[in-house]
Chain A
Amino acid sequence: GAGVSQSPRYKVAKRGQDVALRCDPISGHVSLFWYQQALGQGPEFLTYFQNEAQLDKSGLPSDRFFAERPEGSVSTLKIQRTQQEDSAVYLCASSSRGTGETQYFGPGTRLLVL
């Protein structure tokens, strides 16, 4: 079956622009996670959805970051007024049930803010 897909794969934005990153989880997976990965670092948790409910957004670095999953499937991570420090790879992962289950990752979106 299809894995987790993300789009776009690469995004270049001018500082101050808004961006939207999309994640299509594995079909039927209840849980969806967003991570931010800086170069040479491990992924860092941003937020977590169970179906359409956002149960944890403690990792979002500022109020410029917003995530939604309105129908419990596809999710969008939006970054408003992008800053250079937002440049990173944004990874999406999904799991079949709760957070103790194995998470399967997408290929990531590489964001570069100029």
Chain B
Amino acid sequence: EDQVTQSPEALRLQEGESSSLNCSYTVSGLRGLFWYRQDPGKGPEFLFTLYSAGEEKEKERLKATLTKKESFLHITAPKPEDSATYLCAVISGGYQKVTFGTGTKLQVIP
């Protein structure tokens, strides 16, 4: 069974203080790893899809990287509007379902 573990559970940063969120996964045959952002009371908003180890993707202040065991979401010089819960998810092998982690709740303080 696929497993996804995200750390830390919560992270509090000062505005401009860069950091990284971790997503460790155990799957048989990764087909894709997804990062989503979720604001309170809303559905997850797609950020990135990574398919193979070594792949990197960037969007504004966010950069996602992937290895064979984990993915990182790097946040550079965050702003208060980056405050949200960041979810990691994987899909593997012949399975149809996506397995999510429990998320990292990020708070960026002005």
Chain A contacts to B: CB under 8 angstroms: 4, 33, 35, 40-45, 48, 55-56, 58-59, 91, 93, 99-100, 102-108, 110
Contacts and interface: CB of A to CB of B under 8 A. Distances in A.
Contacts, number: 59
A106 B42 CA distance: 8
B44 A100 contact: no
Given A42-B103, A48-B96, A103-B98, 20 more contacts: A33-B97, A33-B98, A40-B102, A41-B102, A43-B87, A43-B100, A48-B97, A59-B97, A91-B43, A99-B96, A100-B32, A100-B91, A102-B46, A103-B46, A105-B43, A105-B45, A107-B41, A107-B42, A107-B43, A110-B41
Interface residues of B, number: 24
Interface of B: 4, 31-32, 34, 36, 41-46, 49, 87, 89, 91, 95-103
Given A100-B31, A100-B32, A102-B34, A58 B43 contact: no
A110 B40 CA distance: 12
